Structure 1
Amino acid sequence: MPSGKVKGNPGEKSPNAGKDAGMTDETEPETELRPRSRAPRRVMRFGLWMLLSLALVVGLAGFGLLALTGKPIRLPVWAVAEAEARLNDALPMGGNNLSIGGVEIAVGRDWVPRLRLEDLRLTRSGGAPLLRLPEARVAFDPLSIAALRLRPASVVLSGASIRLRRDATGRFDLDLGEAGAGPQLGSFAEVMAALDALFARPQLAALQEVTVEALSLRLDDARAGRVWQLGDGRAVLANDPEGLGAELSFTLAGGAQVAQAQLQVRTERGTAGARLRATVEGVAARDLALQAPVLGFLSALDAPISGRLNGSVDAEGQVAGLEAELALGAGALQPSPESKPVGFDSARLALAYDPAQERIDLTEIAVQSRSLRLGASGHVYAPGVTRGRPAAFLAQIAFSEVKVDPEGLFVEPVTFSQGALDLRLRLDPFRLDVGQLTLLEDGRRLEAKGSARADASGWHLALDLALDAIRHDRLLALWPVSAVHKTREWLVENVQEGLLRNVKVALRMEPGAEPRFSLGYDFADGDVRFLKTLPPIRQGSGYATIEGNSYTMVLDRGQVTPPVGGRITMDGSIFSVLDILQKPAQSEIQLRTKSSLTAALSLLDQEPFRFLTKAGRPVELGEGRAEVSAVLRLPLVPHIKLDDVSYQVEGRLSDVRSAVLVPGKELSAPALNLTAGPSGLAITGKGRVGAVPFDATYKLPFGPAAGGKSTITGTVELSPRAVAEFSLGLPDRMVSGQGSGKFTLELPKGGAGRLALTSDLRGLGLALPEIGWRKAPATAGRLEVAATLGQPPQVQALSLQAPGLTAKGDISLRAGGGLDRARFARVQAGNWLDAPVTLTGRGKGRAVGVEVTGGRIDLRRLPERGGSGGASDGAPMRAALDSVQVTDGIALTGLRGEFTTRGGFGGTFTGRVNGGAAVRGTVAPMKGGSGIRITSDDAGGVIASAGIFGNARGGALDLQLVPVGANTYNGIATARNFRVTNAPVLAELLSAISVVGILEQLNGAGLVFAEADAQFRLTPAGVEVSRGAAVGASMGVSAAGTFDSRNKRLNLQGVISPIYLLNGIGSVLTRKGEGLFGFNYKIRGTSDRPEISVNPLSILTPGLFREIFRQPVPKLRPAQ
């Protein structure tokens, strides 16, 4: 075709140009009114028609040749340049420039001409690229060619690069190639109307398909905050008489695996909406959720999704309906990168969306993994989803199957056949609120509520579960094997049966903190074993909790049956694990028991304790009731040793009776307190041993060092009934009143008990009438006893200290009861007795025998006895004393005697006066005491040994003492045929009266006195002689006065009568020892330095008148 015709005048118009290009004068104003955003599209259409015209001109020349050869012809460069120039001149490019790299023309065997354009570039006036197509292929409609009109039948574009931008409102901007900002796409209706208008033009009436190959698409989504890069895309736009169809397929890169998606859109002529169909494979759940707000709930999943979606959109591009079937591959629930993923293997989801109600019907929900299988259906309300992303999803789910079986978590799968769930899901930030979850299986009803949220710090979880009833074994199946496994193992091994009710579970999790878990439930008819070695608790009921790190089980009701003693009620017992996270976990057992005493001791004698067995004691210690509280702490380990267990036992025993604790005696108590610990067992309280009250503590130490020895310590009553109860055999009335003693009773294993007793003797009256000693009840003292409670009991040591009496010794008792012998190595009674004393039992009701061997008695200080009576048969007494002090200067030494208290104190004895002259004596009971008669064959020796007169020799003595008061006796003494020699006092007296012959006789063979007698009073202070006389052939002497034994002072007066054989006739007128004529004398001073005075003129006073002038007899001053 000539070039001139193609170019024409710049000012002229081709007759067909406007028609072919669709641009006439009438259309020019319309073009100017269109938005500027449509200018590139108009330029493209105009350029296309120009190219088609060029192709037609060129094609007519070589059409036949091309049809015959089938080979493409490449236009020369000049032709391409000429065509490019004419296109730029002819097309309204709006300042843009079109360049073509090359053109090829070919005719196929079907006689359809085809045009191939290479490297098409559309640039802005400043050189910035607007669009670049590596290749464009156009196939023309044969019918239009026959009509001499070139109408494209199909167009294939290759290598297009498109950028879409979606703003926060959801509208799209189109950016072609590298041009930057491009035209803004209108609504879905506007886009579809524009496409309809485009294909309605006559020039494109034959165009059936536009294909874009090797398409790359970049989507900058400001609403989602994401950029998607789509590659290897292919877009097909199909035009048919009924409507338009579009298909877009692409590959989405950037994830763990390459995802593919295919989108199909179909519109019908005359309608504003469209039908959609999408198929996805391996698309990330988050990506799909971001593009489809109705599927926004999938944004928390990190998993690939494959499936199909069928739906429709309205004129505004809003989803008018949607159905989807989606399959999720292996993935996890992970709302944020910091939250720990919750994995699953696969899932299926089938749904239908109703935008009018903003409701999603979930016709199928299926989750499958090695740890979870779930089947469900339900519906979701998404308020606001039609206006964008909803603020929350409100779901109601019905479960048809739930099976939870994490590997290694449960002993067996946990299954439920039906259930329901109400929840609310918020996505920004992620928060899941469970209003109610109910799961049912075999009559069990599990209810739960809670919330879970995830943020930059991780998961925050709050979950509360409630179960109406479940068997114990089923709860253990629900208990995770690895969760506090030692506590779980303990429950498996020690809680055998039972029905659990009102099960409550709470779980709280916070990032960076240990999970907080609580569990609570009631149980009934359960068998619980707190320790493997102890009998199980049968028919137990109560409740259990886990709070924080502590597990607690409280037993409201239950019972244990030990080997001996009958049932034990365990109501109120508690088992707890102090810290379930500790390794090994430490448990605490608080036992509360009520039973017989034997049953309680039998329980304490089980392994690992064996308290009584190790102590060599039977569990049958006695009868009674026991209420025991025990606290045991032990680790939860397979094998428990006693050293692993710390424990403390407290109890109250009532109505106790035992014939074992105190051999041979029944111990009884209304109430006792019991304690036990690692060191031993103790029982404390008040009771009676037989009839004797006590307040004592029984202690049984544990361990090898104790050797099975136990002790009883406390206080016991000391009284006549105690004497009778323990068969001490003491005389009646020896013990009176009531006192108490502190005692310690050691009970060795297999041996007799050893008793140690002390007392202050207050309240206790004691009496030994045999020795005249008494202790008033109000008077204090000291008693110490060490005894062995064998058969019979033996008192190894007894020490008694009381006012007026001190005794130390030992006591043996008879096998049949009663006193055998009490041996006191030293008895001190006041200051009058200091001697060993032996008391010998003589049978019940009879006075004990008394034997005194050695020691001394001081009669001066002998206490008064309250009467002369004694036991009916009298108490025999045998004495072998070293000394019996009669007065200050007179003592009987080497006394041997036998006495009795029958009818009073009496008996016979022998001894020596002050270690000198021997005497014999008799003691007889008399009113006021005991009378004494002393005889001797050496009267002079007795007088001399007594320190009264040391120069007498020989003679017979008869001395009688009659008690008249405390340690005071009236005495009569008679001596016969004794001799006085070398008596200084008498010599001085004779010298004073110038009786030479008698004096010489005194200094020679001595004066012989045929008879002497005296009446006197013997007191502790000395001797008062009221009348005394000694007569012999040579002289007679009378005397009266005092001898103070305390200071050896003499105060005597009397008459000395010489030649008494003749002079004695006058005694009938005076008194014995005084003659008709005699000399009065006085003796003063001490016995070793006497002062003698004689009145010579007194001889002139005949005996008849001597009484008139006789002075009163001197008296002793009373002893202080």
Structure 2
Amino acid sequence: MSAARLKEVWPAAAPPKPREWVRENLLAGYARDVNFAMRGSGTAKPFVYLDLAFEDAAVKFQKSLPPLREAAGQFSLYGNRLVVMATKGWVTADQGGRVDAAGTSFIIPDTSVKDGAPGIARIEASGQVTAALSLLNRPPLSVMEKAGLPVDLASGRVALSGTLSLPLRKGVTPDEITYHYRGRIRGAASDVLVPGESLSAEVLGLSGDQDHVQIEGDGALSGVPGSLIWRQAVGPAAERATAAAGQPPPVRVNGTIELSQATVDALRIGLPKGSVFGRGEGRYEVVIDKGVCAKADTGERSGRAWPADPGAELAAERGGHRSAATARAAGRAAAGGGAVARGGGVAGLWPCHAGTGGGLRRALFDRVDLRGWFRGAVELVGRGARAPGINIRSGVLDLRRMPDGSGGSGSSGGSSGGTGPITLQLDRMQVTDSIALTGFRGRFSTTGGLNGDFTAALNGQTGVSGVVVPKDGGFATRIQSEDAGGVFRAAGVLRHGSGGTFDMSLVPAPGAPGEYDGQIEVKNTRIKDAPSMAALLNAVSVVGLIDALAGQGILFTTVEAKFRLGATHLIVHESSAVGPSIGLSMDGNYDLERSVLNMRGVISPIDPAQCGWPGVHPQGRGADWLCLHVEGGGG
């Protein structure tokens, strides 16, 4: 029996809604093995039973979907319950070709319900991913369109099962449609899910409902092994969020990724070769907001990696469409701690792309540990094809423990631009065992060698500023302060100093890693509460007596010294201090660990020739001198 003949013989006395459904939705085909029964009495509504098999049929299961063609299956009407089951058939999507719909069924639980009887479609489908997403994109769902994504966002074959429920009446709104589905994509590949990167996987899971679409599974990102969960909000809830925020809700991508030098290379992060070693796994989360400047973030670990959680921030732009991403990330080390970086780089980062060129834009590591010589937060800022800039956002840097054993006398100081610009915001820089710079702020360049300027507080007390320039394969430093006395107090050299200007230069000592040759020049500093002998000698002069009576201490208009500074010691080769009332010269050494002096020198007004120290010559004084040999605690 043909479909047309079936419609003709359908009993007029039978319930109208099943008859209407058959007339509107059975477009073609043949019926066989028809069983029909109707039972009733009097004026009561009769009970109707109809069962038939159909083949070569064209059936419209749901108004928003294309008809099922070459269909075969079973039709059943049992009282008010209508069921159509397809054991064979396919639909043709707007894009992507045919979708096999064998196993799909349509149910009206109660055809007697007025003003919108519920209709339920249980969907079984397999075909190309593009075709399946194209069906989801048909009105009124328009899943992909509302998500701002193309239906061809991924290639591969998908098999899925789902359920769709809606009232059977005209003017149905998206709020009245509920659905959910779940399936698998095999041989998946996409250049859209993660902007600017290619994703491939043997198997990915696909799921969704009226609120979201989700794709998840293990695969490779631009050839780098990893996993992802891609999630996009859709439907009425997304529309309400869009109305409230003024832009569509974001796409979320999170998962894991291998961290290694291969990752850096494949994702075009822009770090120098050899910056990363080891292998590990990191977790990441990306939030992509349509219409906002693109960002993306990740966390990572390598096999020898950061011991704690980092976050990152990147940017992506594709063909004029900008998307934004924010992420917080946490990584898990695949093996123990240790340094992740050597040279100027760090380990595996998430990529950032500008246009089609690729490269790092920004990456932030909350806690970094480089074999104990640095602990803190590090930010890398991409500079296109050049090495990234390095921003040290916080932390402690110990110059004593740096890999070359010095604060820069090794090859690093003579770099010819192997790293990008460096900005330091350190809580503490440990220079020697007893000397540290706190609140360190500096900006440096490696072009032609390390150079830049900085400010800090010496041992947390006296403010200093400095300049670093390349010098003999390392770098030289000049440190200045407007409180020379404060510098001496903070360094533990002289507790009674006050005022004056301080100017010191340091250069790496030849053949002595970790030590510096230096010169100091101090102008107009005073020593208050000086030892009794010094105060007595100062008072011998008229100027010194006036200063003493005024409580201003001993004034030195010029102090000069040449010395060598090591991690535990200060060796004074020669020094002199000259003032209007007193002058002295001194050499010797100072134990920085124990604060112990061993100095010799002369103070006016005693003749230095009587001391037997011909190498010690005070400047600018008269004929009388006092010979000194000082041992014991400094200050």
TM-score by length of 1: 0.42
1:537 and 1:559 in contact (8 A); partners too: yes
- Which of 624, 644, 654 lines up with 2:186 in the alignment? 654
d(CA) in 2 for partners of 1:741 and 1:731? 23
Q: 270, 291, 302: which is aligned to 1:729?
A: 270
Confirm or deny that 1:742 pairs with 2:289.
Answer: no
Kindly state the Cα deviation for residue 540 of structure 1 after the two structures are TM-superposed.
Answer: 1.8
Q: 1:506 to 1:863 in 2, by over 3 A?
A: farther
**Is contact 2:517-2:564 (8 Å) kept?**
yes
Distance in 2 (CA, whole Å) between partners of 1:674 and 1:477 is 43
Q: In the alignment, what sits opposite 2:446?
A: 900
Quick one: which amino acid aligns to residue 305 of structure 2? P
2:357 to 798, 805, 817: 817
* Match of residue 240 from structure 2: 705
**Alignment partner of 1:874 out of 405, 418, 436:** 418
1:764 alignment partner in structure 2: 302
CA deviation vs aligned residue, 1:991-1030 (integer Å, no higher than 9, x gap): 6xxxx799659947999999976655543xx645487676
Q: Distance in 1 between matches of 2:445 and 2:591?
A: 32
Are the structure 2 counterparts of residues 814 and 656 from structure 1 closer, same or farther at C-alpha, using a change threshold of 3 Å? closer
Q: How far is the alpha carbon of 1:479 from its aligned partner? A: 3.8
Q: Match of 1:1062?
A: 609
- Whether 2:165 is the aligned partner of 1:633: answer yes
2:230 alignment partner, SS class: strand
Q: What code does the residue aligned with 1:715 have?
A: G
* Partner of residue 255 from structure 2, selected from 715, 730, 755: 715
1:696 to 218, 223, 229: 229
CA distance in 2, matches of 1:976, 1:752: 55
User: Structure 1: which amino acid aligns with 2:387?
Assistant: A
Number of the residue aligned with 2:19: 488
Report the Cα distance in structure 2 between the residues aligned to 1:913 and 1:639, rounded to whole angstroms: 73
Q: 1:936: how far off?
A: 8.5
**One-letter amino acid matched to 2:151:** V
Instruction: Give me the whole-angstrom Cα distance separating, in 2, the residues matched to 1:517 and 1:937.
Output: 102
Alignment match of 2:54 (pick from 512, 515, 523): 523
Distance 1:834 1:977 in 2: 35
Matched-pair contact (CA < 8 Å) for 1:743–1:755: no
| CA drift at 1:989 | 6.0
Query: 1:673 corresponds to which residue?
Result: 205
2:348 matched to which residue of 1? none
Distance in 1 (alpha carbons) for counterparts of 2:425 and 2:27: 84
RMSD between superposed Cα atoms in Å: 5.8
Instruction: State the AA in 1 paired with 2:30.
Output: L
Superposition deviation, residue 573 in structure 1: 1.8
The structural deviation recorded for 1:525 is 2.0
Contact preservation (8 Å) 1:1028, 1:1040: no
Cα distance in structure 1, aligned partners of 2:214 and 2:464? 67
Change (3 A) 1:675 1:907: closer
Which residue number in structure 2 is paired with residue 560 of structure 1?
91
| Offset at residue 687 of structure 1 (A) | 4.0
1:571 Cα deviation after fit = 1.4
Q: TM-score under structure 2 normalisation?
A: 0.68
The 1-side partners of 2:35 and 2:481 are apart by 114
After TM superposition, list the pairs within 5 Å mapping 1:101-140 onto structure 2.
none
User: 2:611 matched to 1:1042?
Assistant: no
State the AA in 2 paired with 1:743: E
Partner of 1:783: 311
Q: 5 Å matches for 1:773-852?
A: 776-777=304-305, 779-785=307-313, 787=315, 789=317, 815=355, 817=357, 841=382, 843-844=384-385, 846-849=386-389
Q: Which moved more, 1:616-625 or 1:871-880?
A: 871-880
Deviations 1:860-891 (A, max 9, x none): 66651358455664336477989977565676
How far apart are the structure 1 equivalents of 2:522 and 2:142? 91
Closer/same/farther in 2, CA of residues 513 and 865 from structure 1, 3 Å limit: farther
**CA–CA separation in structure 1 for the residues paired with 2:256 and 2:319:** 21
Q: Residues 140-164 of structure 1, C-alpha deviation per residue, up to 9 Å, x if partnerless?
A: xxxxxxxxxxxxxxxxxxxxxxxxx
Q: CA deviation at 1:701?
A: 0.4
Q: Report the CA distance between 1:741 and its aligned residue.
A: 2.9
One-letter identity of the residue aligned with 2:591: T
Identity %: 22
Sort the Cα spacing of 1:1052 and 1:651 in 2 relative to 1 into closer, same or farther, 3 A.
same
Alpha-carbon contact 2:443-2:454 (below 8 Å) kept: yes
Query: How far did residue 783 of structure 1 move?
Result: 1.0
Q: Could you tell me whether the CA contact under 8 Å between 1:624 and 1:655 is conserved in 2?
A: yes
The partner residue of 1:578 within 109, 115, 131 is: 109
One-letter amino acid matched to 1:782: P
Local SS of the residue matching 1:847: strand
Q: Offset of 1:951 from its aligned partner?
A: 8.5
Deviations 1:500-559 (A, max 9, x none): 333345677799999765443322222222234533222222223344643322211122
Aligned to 2:493: 948
Q: Give the direction of change, closer, same or farther, for the CA distance of 1:1062–1:531 in structure 2 (3 Å limit).
A: closer
Q: Aligned in 2, Cα 1:828/1:628: closer, same or farther, shift over 3 Å? A: closer
- 1:939-979 CA-partner distances (Å, limit 9, x unpaired): 988985866354999999765553999xx944555679999
What is the number of equivalent residue pairs in this alignment?
Answer: 576
Structure 2 CA distance for partners of 1:963 and 1:601, relative to 1, 3 Å: same
Query: What corresponds to 2:133 in structure 1?
Result: 601
Gap runs ≥5 in structure 2? 243-247, 332-336, 341-350, 548-553, 619-624
- Distance in 2, matches of 1:1063 and 1:689, equals 83
Residues in 2 aligned to 1:981 and 1:833: alpha-carbon distance in whole angstroms: 38
Q: What's the counterpart of residue 155 of structure 2?
A: 623
Matches within 5 A, 1:919-958: 922=469, 924=471, 932=476, 934=478, 948-949=493-494, 950=497
Q: 1:865 corresponds to which residue? A: 403
Which residue identity does 2:288 align to in structure 1? E
List runs of 5+ in structure 1 lacking aligned partners: 1-469, 766-775, 806-810, 1088-1120
Give the AA of the match of 2:255: T
* Contact in 1 for aligned 2:561/2:572 (Cα 8 Å): no
Q: 1:753 to 1:629 in 2, by over 3 A?
A: farther
Greater Rg by CA? 1
Q: SS at 2:70's partner residue?
A: strand
Contact 2:293 2:323 in 1 (8 A): no
Q: Tell me: CA distance 1:710–1:594, structure 2 relative to 1, closer, same or farther (3 Å).
A: farther
User: 1:603 offset after TM fit, Å?
Assistant: 2.8
Q: Indicate if the aligned counterparts of 1:595 and 1:626 stay in contact, CA closer than 8 A.
A: yes
Residues 730 and 819 of structure 1 are in contact (CA less than 8 Å); yes or no, is this contact kept in structure 2?
A: no
